[in-house]
Amino acid sequence: MKAAVVVFPGTTCDFDAYDALKEGVGVDTEYVFYQTRDLSKYSLVVLPGGFTYGDYLRSGAIASRTPILDAVRDYVEKEWGFVVGICNGFQILTESRILPGALTRNHTNAFICKPVGLRIANAETPFTEEFEPGERLSLPIAHADGRYVADPATLQRLHKNRQIFLVYDPENPNGSVDNIAGITNEKQNVFGLMPHPERFWHPWLGSDVGIRFFRSLVRRVRHG
C-alpha cells in the first residue's frame, strides 16, 4: 500500500505525518503537492496540519478551493481509500464540505498549544479500532480555530450515525459543541480531528499513543 501526505503552501506538519506513517507504521509514503489531480494509487491520503495560505480569509478556506480537493472529493466518492485531515487538514475538509459543520475561533479567542485529555467516543471506526471503547488518551492540540460547530440537524445525524469518534474529556479547550474533537463521514472513509496524533507517534516525543490511529487504518487497508 501507498500513503500520500498532501503539501500546500503553508503546511507545517507534513514531516511529522510522513515520519509517523513511514517510520512508525512502515508504509510507503510520498509527499504530494496541491496541484495533483489524481490520488487513485494511494490507499491513504493525509491532509496534515499547518497554516495553509496564511489562514487568510478563514482557516483552510483557500486550500479547500485548490485542484487537489477535487481529487480528494473524487477519491472519497469512489472509495479508493481513507482520507485523514488533522488540524488545518480538518478545517480544509469542512471548508470543502467533505465533512459537515465548520471550525471557528476558540471560545477563549486564543491559540492553544498543549496536550489535552480526550476520549474515544466510537472505537468501531477504521481509524479507532486499536482503541478500547471509551478509552482515555492525551494528544497535543495547536490551534486557534478549533471550535467545531454544526446546525442541530447535522449534530443529530452525527450522533445517530456515531460519526463522532473523538471527544475532549474532561476539559473542552475550545468550546466545541458536544466536546467534539474528531468526526467521520457516514461512509467512514474520511476522518477529521483537531488534535495531532502524528505529534505523539514515538516515545521520544513523549508518547506513542497517536500511532494507534494510523495503525488502525493501515491494518484495515491491508487486511480489510
Partner 1 sequence: MPVYHAELLVYLRPDLLDPQGRAVKHALNTLGFHEVEDVRMGKAIRIRLQAENDSQARDRLKEMAEKLLTNPVIEDYRILSLEQEP
Grid coordinates in use for 144? 486557534
The least CB distance from residue 177 to partner 1, in Å, is: 10
* Span 116-135, contacts to partner 1 by CB under 8 A: none
* CA atoms in the 13 A half-sphere facing the CB of 97: 2
- Residues that contact partner 1, how many (by CB under 8 A): 20
What whole-number distance in Å separates Cα of residue 96 and Cα of residue 60? Answer: 9
**102 makes contact with partner 1 (CB under 8 A):** yes
The least CB distance from residue 4 to partner 1, in Å, is: 25
The least CB distance from residue 51 to partner 1, in Å, is: 17
Q: In terms of Cα–Cα distance, which of 139, 135, 110 is closest to 124?
A: 135
**183 makes contact with partner 1 (CB under 8 A):** no
Our answer to whether residue 198 is catalytic in this structure is yes
Our answer to whether residue 87 is catalytic in this structure is yes
Our answer to whether residue 196 is catalytic in this structure is yes
**Integer angstrom CA distances of residue 187 from 72, 79, 98, 163, 199:** 15, 9, 11, 9, 27
> By CB under 8 A, which span of 39-47, 58-66, 114-122, 125-133 interacts with partner 1?
58-66
- Give percent helix, percent strand, percent coil of the chain, each to the nearest 5: 30, 30, 40
What whole-number distance in Å separates Cα of residue 59 and Cα of residue 94? Answer: 10
Closer Cβ to partner 1, 96 or 216, answer by number: 96
Grid coordinates in use for 139? 494528544
Q: Which of 29, 106, 122, 125 binds partner 1 (CB under 8 A)?
A: 106
Residues labelled catalytic? 87, 196, 198
> Under the rule (CB under 8 A), what is the footprint of partner 1?
57-58, 61-62, 65, 94-95, 101-102, 104-109, 147, 149-151, 175
